Structure 1
Amino acid sequence: MHADERTRAWLVLLRTPGLGPGGLRARLADAGGDVLAALARLRRPGAGLDEPARAWLERPDEARLAADLAWLAAPGHRLLRCDEADFPPQLDALAQPPAALFVAGDAALLLRPQVAVVGARGASPAGLAHAKRFARALALAGYVVTSGMADGIDGAAHAAALDAGAPTVAVVGTGPDRVYPRKHQELARRIAAQGALVSEFPPGTAARADHFPRRNRIIAGLSLGTLVVEAGLQSGSLITARLAGEEGREVFALPGSIDNPLARGCHRLIRDGARLVEEPAEVSEALAPAARAQGGVLAARLAEEEPSAGAAAPATWRDDPDYRALLDALGHEPAGLDELAGRTGLSAPALSSMLLMLELEGAVAGLPGNRYQRLPG
């Protein structure tokens, strides 16, 4: 019952008009991290809230809260809160971090090294082909491909990762129960089943123009780097890239023909300091040091706190039977992915992901030629 009361308190605060993620985090900090105390303080006279917020807190819409709780009660659904040990630490570093995320699927994927692949909605056939090629290769290299489930480049990147047997993360500008655009109903179902569908907005929230810049900051914040495949000068992808750069993350851009309007946004990014890339390996190699650093931060954070239900603590991954089988299959000599797939029966995407995690933990070293060596210890 107490857990239900706390979840309800979170939902009330997340829906409080004008409070926002920054205000919620500040009020939670003032209350010593106790969400029930934060809610009680906000309901007192002189809490500094405007009339819509006061009205909501005095008489919240019980039907909406019941619908939120019903959504959370469904299998695979979760409210991932900023006070939990497995909340993505890379989001805490944002200038405007979210207070909580609604997740359908595997929330542990948000702790994995991610690469954002974004671009134009009205992408060219060549742009879509590039997005698929890069997304597939990055997924097979062990990175989680993250995007916004929009039409065009976003959708192509998600589908390519899924088709490669790898997970993908979609951050959306609607509630987690809405699909926008509607044509992506099946894609959204696949993402939730094989990856994670993420939203800062409560269930039932419709698409609004101002939601998408907010979504873009989370895409940029989750990812070690952002790859822009095609973008016009007014593309929302440039917002994601700008936010990534402001947060100190890598920005990559594919060059294109000077006659292609959808190349101009990428060319502007390159002039402004983005890395020009032509092959997926250039992206994965550039991000490898950041991936190792992220793994160290995460391991330290989870070592300080007891992980909440559903948390994926790196220290336990090597105790998993598949990880043990992989380490045994590595033996004492370097081996390639094909050899390891034959020895373990695991797919190449699964092996790439596991090897990246083991490399972050210092159990495995990556060698030239896509080969791996088990390290002592």
Structure 2
Amino acid sequence: MDRKIQYKFDKEHLKNSAPSVYDESKLRSEEMVLNLGPQHPSTHGVLRLEVVTDGEFIVDVVPHLGYLHRCFEKHAESMAFNQTIPYVDRMDYVASMNSEHAYVMGVEQMLGITEQIPKRVEYIRVLVAELNRLASHFIAVGTYGIDIGATTPFLWLMRDREHILRLLEWVSGARMLYNYIWIGGLFYDLPVGFEERCLEFVQYLKPKLKEFHNLLVENKIFVERTANIGVMPLDLAINYGVTGPMLRGSGLKYDLRKVDGYSVYPEIDFDIPIGKGEMGTLGDCWDRTYVRVAECWESIRIIEQALEQLTGDHKRTREFDPQALVPKKIRPKKMDFYARAENPKGELGFFFRATGKSDIPFRVKARSCSFVNMAILPELTRGVPIADLIAIFGSFDVVMGEVDR
């Protein structure tokens, strides 16, 4: 039978035999599957989002990972503890100093040498980590502006981020992947004149950051695009293990720099910004952006206090050797150990299993904040318009190198 005739016969037969099934008003609208990525700019890198849509509204979102696999854990299990640091840099490659700090502190705690680390070393670690936190938040907020159509804030923040990268390059010799914080110390002391140059940058940055806040964060269009969008209730965030600015954006004062009090953070005065629902609903996209910008101001406070210590009580001396405690052979006792620190994106943790017989760990597991935070994406996007998916996911500040660790 001809296909057209067969189709006409089937259609008429369906009408006569089952009118209730054929009634278009009772049929569910067709769902369609869209792929965002892995090259789409809204996905912040190599991520594919399989989006099930009903019209222009989202039914479900399925993230597909593995396009930027770093093989970090297998690398870490095939080389010595100290040789792994360059691979730590390559996970969250826009916050490498912070990642190094977390990893190195974990190994030092296993070795039992934490209390012996000189205060100057600790203040330098905090200084470079907070500089890198600023650079990471500049990427997060700047690219978020581009996600929802604002180009100028991105250009402003990239201009100021360049000053930070030059400072960190002056310290370590590398632009983004530093290998600067070593187990037991540092690669090298701060260059002569670094403290003065860093203080000049801080004074330059303060009015620029205030100007940026007026340009984007309080912008009427930006507020309307982010307020009451992607609302994440606090109980849902806790149940999903969300940490960092995303958790604090939902109203909880939880920062490992205060909770665990590692390094010299207990000696430094700073606050923990949280979302308050000032422009919309508590825990929305605007609150998460506000927290990141507010944390930039707190990082500036921390940097100023660290510089005061590095030019005062813990200033440079000829006798100071940042590598004095760096062990030649790193062989912790047989143990399982977990260490964590507050990265710009949340809690970065490392689980170690040492055999006590080798300087190569038997097992290293990274608890990456970007990976854990992204698990809540389907919960926040069901039933929202497709356009809001970009606004919601952009507020997560995800780096795929850390997700596909």
User: TM exceeds 0.5?
Assistant: no
Give the TM-score, by structure 1 length. Answer: 0.21
Which one has more relative contact order, counting CA pairs under 8 Å at least 6 apart?
2
Q: Give the number of the structure whose alpha-carbon radius of gyration is greater.
A: 2
TM-score, normalised by the number of residues in structure 2: 0.20
